[in-house]
């Protein structure tokens, strides 16, 4: 079993839950994030960012019992205009669990609390 949190436009796939609410989901042994996304009925292209246990992961990441998976759709702008970044195997980056600030890439010191 993993615990899934949906954000942004993806919240519609777990009706009756609040944004970011952890929902237990049973997955098969050796299931990966891509399998979980399919099980939830979400088109893979709608998932912009995947975080497993506060680490950014690719869609082929193999899930383990108890993993906390956060799925994010596009935060702003149109999903049709900005395709999701490619998911690269074997890469991970640390991400703040609260995602407490937004950074403007064109202004390196422009960080504002939400």
Count the domains in the chain.
Answer: 1
Beta-carbon contacts of 55 under 8 Å, excluding residues fewer than 6 positions away, are: 92, 93, 94, 95
Which pLDDT score, from 0 to 100, does residue 112 have? 38
**Could you list the residue range(s) of the whole structural domain that residue 18 is in?**
2-76+84-113
Which pLDDT score, from 0 to 100, does residue 44 have? 86
Cα separation, 43 vs 54, in Å, equals: 22
Which pLDDT score, from 0 to 100, does residue 89 have? 62
**pLDDT band (50, 70, 90) for residue 109:** very low
**pLDDT band (50, 70, 90) for residue 20:** very high
Cα separation, 61 vs 33, in Å, equals: 6
**Dihedral pair phi/psi, residue 26, rounded to 5°:** -80, 135
Kindly report, residue by residue over 58-108, the tens digit of the pLDDT.
Answer: 999 999 999 999 999 987 655 554 455 555 566 555 554 444 333 333 333
DSSP for residue 62: B
Which pLDDT score, from 0 to 100, does residue 103 have? 36
Q: What is the CATH number of the domain that holds 55?
A: 3.10.20.30
**Dihedral pair phi/psi, residue 39, rounded to 5°:** -60, -35
């Amino acid at each position: 079993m993993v615990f899934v949190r949906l954000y942004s436009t993806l919240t519609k796939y777990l009706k009756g839950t609040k944004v970011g609410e952890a929902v237990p989901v049973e997955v098969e042994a050796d299931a990966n994030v891509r399998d979980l996304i399919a099980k939830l009925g979400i088109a893979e292209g709608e998932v912009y960012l995947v975080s497993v246990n506060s680490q950014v992961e690719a869609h082929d990441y193999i899930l383990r019992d108890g993993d906390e998976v956060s799925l994010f759709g596009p935060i702003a702008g149109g999903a049709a205009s900005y395709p999701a970044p490619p998911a690269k195997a074997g890469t991970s980056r640390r991400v703040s669990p609260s995602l407490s600030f937004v950074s403007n890439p064109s202004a390196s010191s422009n960080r504002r609390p939400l």
